[in-house]
């Protein structure tokens, strides 16, 4: 048979790359070259990657195979429908078709669900006999000890940053709820024999003159023992390479040293969020925010460029997340940051949860590209999330911002600068972004303020009733902020001890919020353990003195016992629910 394998391109999207940008930034996906390698030699196989070449649908062909992720699937269906109209049978595969087979089969004669190694030969046999049987499901994970070398020779090799790609592992030891990797590969993490990987790298060097290799693993360092064995074996080959791995690699000094010696020059790292609460909710608590800066420094110290990915739109993300993230990127000199909109990819736990909650408003799969909002966030509007995402990219890839991140002593300076300007060209085509109106409130208000007031008495709220206690307060007041409802009402959640120092700052922050557009500031005392008389006088006296602010500041969650004690100590009337 004459078999054409097609990798569809994005159409009419701000994520679409020009040919020049692909040559600067990108490498080919391995799925179709691997399918070609699994095809017996009596068949004639060609590969068309629409990202780098035009698809000629007039060429004679007996079977078409198309693999695509969700954002590419509308184009895949368009191509499949066109070939079927011409009488050419079509096979669809890849992550989207595997997780949505009932949808995919409406556009194909066969759908391969899961890894193709165990079932491709059966698909070919049935295609030869003219009896394709609909959905073909892999009954077990592929044995990657036996996979052949992908047919990279079938690609337009000169049209990519590098066409020298290979894989050492499959799957990921983690299970983040927004990721489709585990849903596709199952709860497995498998390794190719080190000798096979080394032989494949050696072949790339001898056959194609490869000096740089892209390992397209989802987490190359997920098993440190295997990674160290592989890195030791790569050292004699004297290549440069890049891959994807978790930030946990920084915990192992030996692993970093071996990675550097083996030629690692870049790592794509999913940092995702600067919030521990967010990471825990996304089942990615193995990332420790408190360790981020030290981990990044360690990786940089071993000469590796970090391509760090951040995701906006988690349920805990407020309007300040964009500015905080951009500041973090700048402070830590992350050479190649990328931002993504949280996307409920079909088949993932996130998708089913959001669908059940009725929060997905757009099922156009072409928009599931990690750059378009398709759901209702919890703490901001979809429009705010979309514009904030564009703003973060545009702010990060300004010439001045690139210089601030890149202009420092580091290896391979010119290649890193070239990558940044490649991204800058893409970013310049995106719609205009905007930092959210209240972003700076979310970033200025939160604070942990030490409490060290020497006093003779305080209101102790740790017991059921408010009582006075005499001691020196050595504690803290933690101030958090959140928006309540659709109106500009902001709530300050207090935790800890309120003394005169923290009360002054709290009063100042309340005025800041009002001056920046807050209609009302609600101060929540629910988790306040103790309050000093001086703190109350600052808060209440200033509130009465300056009428403009007193009408816009409310105190809530004050117990009846606490209100009585306030009246007794300060002489002010305070109600148990709010003032």
**Nearest 5 degrees, angle CA 367-CA 52-CA 393?**
45
Q: What is the pLDDT of residue 470?
A: 43
In this structure, CATH architecture of domain 2-137: 3-Layer(aba) Sandwich (3.40)
Largest CA distance in the chain: 95
**Is the separation of the CB atoms in 2 and 60 below 8 Å?**
yes
Q: What is the pLDDT of residue 578?
A: 41
Q: Which residues pair with 158 in a beta bridge?
A: none
Q: What are the residue ranges in the chain where pLDDT is below 70?
A: 173-175, 180-187, 285, 453-474, 540-550, 559, 561-563, 565-579
Within 13 Å of residue 554, how many CA atoms lie on the same side as its CB? 15
Domain ranges of the chain: 2-137, 164-427, 440-570
pLDDT digits (tens, 9 = 90+) for 187-204: 678 889 999 999 999 999
For the full predicted model, state whether its pTM sits above 0.85.
yes
Which alpha helices (H) appear in 345-453, and where do they start and end? Answer: 349-356, 382-396, 399-406, 413-427, 439-444
Q: Look up the CATH number of domain 164-427.
A: 3.80.30.20
**Is the separation of the CB atoms in 292 and 247 below 8 Å?**
yes
pLDDT digits (tens, 9 = 90+) for 480-516: 999 887 788 999 999 988 888 898 899 889 888 988 8
Q: What is the pLDDT of residue 260?
A: 97
| CATH class assigned to 440-570 | alpha beta
The H or E element containing residue 139 is none
> Residue 558 has what DSSP assignment?
-
Q: What is the pLDDT of residue 466?
A: 42
**Nearest 5 degrees, angle CA 282-CA 284-CA 285?**
115
Q: Which residues pair with 490 in a beta bridge?
A: 483, 521
**Is the separation of the CB atoms in 419 and 495 below 8 Å?**
no
> Same topology for domains 2-137 and 440-570, yes or no?
no
Assign 65 to helix, strand or coil: strand
Q: What is the pLDDT of residue 205?
A: 95
Assign 27 to helix, strand or coil: coil
């Amino acid at each position: 048979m004459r078999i054409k394998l097609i990798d569809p391109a994005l159409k009419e999207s701000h994520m679409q790359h020009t040919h020049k940008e692909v040559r600067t930034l990108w490498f080919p996906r391995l799925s179709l070259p691997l399918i070609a390698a699994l095809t017996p030699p009596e068949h004639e196989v060609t590969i068309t990657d629409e990202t780098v070449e035009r698809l000629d649908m007039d060429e004679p062909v007996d079977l078409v195979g198309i693999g695509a992720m969700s954002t590419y699937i509308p184009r895949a269906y368009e191509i499949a429908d066109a070939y079927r109209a011409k009488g050419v049978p079509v096979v669809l595969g890849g992550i989207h078709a595997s997780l949505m087979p009932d949808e995919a089969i409406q556009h194909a004669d066969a759908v391969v669900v899961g890894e193709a190694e165990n079932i491709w030969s059966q698909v070919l046999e049935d295609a030869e006999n003219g009896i394709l049987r609909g959905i073909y499901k892999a009954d077990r994970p592929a044995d990657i000890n036996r996979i052949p070398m992908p047919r990279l020779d079938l690609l337009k090799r000169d049209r990519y940053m590098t066409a020298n790609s290979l894989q050492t592992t499959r799957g990921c030891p983690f299970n983040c709820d927004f990721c489709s990797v585990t849903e596709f590969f199952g709860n497995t993490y498998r390794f190719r024999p080190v000798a096979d990987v080394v032989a494949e790298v050696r072949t790339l060097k001898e056959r194609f003159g490869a000096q740089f290799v892209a390992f397209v693993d989802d987490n190359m360092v997920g098993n440190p023992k295997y990674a160290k064995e592989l890195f030791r074996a790569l050292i004699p080959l004297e290549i440069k390479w890049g891959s994807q791995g978790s930030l946990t690699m920084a915990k192992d000094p030996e692993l970093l040293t071996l990675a550097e010696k083996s030629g690692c020059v870049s790592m794509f790292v999913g940092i995702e969020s600067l919030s521990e609460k967010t990471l825990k909710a996304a089942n990615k608590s193995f990332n420790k925010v408190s360790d981020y800066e030290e981990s990044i420094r360690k990786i940089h110290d071993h000469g590796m460029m970090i391509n760090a990915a951040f995701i906006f739109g988690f349920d805990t993300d407020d309007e300040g997340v964009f500015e905080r993230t951009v500041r973090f990127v700048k402070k830590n000199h992350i050479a190649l940051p990328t931002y993504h909109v949280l996307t409920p990819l079909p088949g993932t736990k996130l998708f089913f949860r959001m669908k059940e909650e009725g929060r997905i408003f757009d099922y156009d799969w072409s928009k599931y590209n990690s750059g378009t909002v398709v759901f209702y966030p919890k703490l901001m509007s979809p429009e705010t999330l979309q514009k904030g995402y564009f703003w973060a990219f545009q702010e990060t890839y300004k010439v001045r911002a690139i210089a601030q991140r890149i202009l420092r002593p580091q290896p391979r300076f010119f290649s890193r600068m070239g990558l940044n300007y490649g991204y800058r060209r893409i970013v310049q085509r995106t719609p205009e972004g905007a930092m959210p109106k209240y972003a700076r409130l979310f970033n200025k208000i939160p604070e942990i303020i030490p409490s060290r007031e020497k006093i003779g008495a305080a209101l102790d709220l740790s017991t059921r009733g408010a009582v006075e206690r005499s001691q020196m307060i050595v504690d803290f007041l933690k101030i958090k902020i959140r928006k309540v409802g659709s109106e500009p009402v902001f709530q300050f959640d207090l935790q800890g001890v309120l003394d005169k120092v923290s009360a002054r700052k709290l009063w100042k922050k309340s005025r800041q919020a009002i001056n920046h557009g807050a209609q009302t500031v609600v101060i929540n005392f629910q988790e306040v353990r103790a309050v000093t008389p001086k703190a109350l006088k600052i808060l209440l006296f200033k509130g009465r003195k300056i009428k403009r602010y007193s009408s816009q500041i409310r105190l809530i969650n004050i117990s009846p016992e606490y209100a009585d004690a306030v009246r007794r100590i300060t002489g002010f009337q305070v109600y148990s629910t709010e003032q």
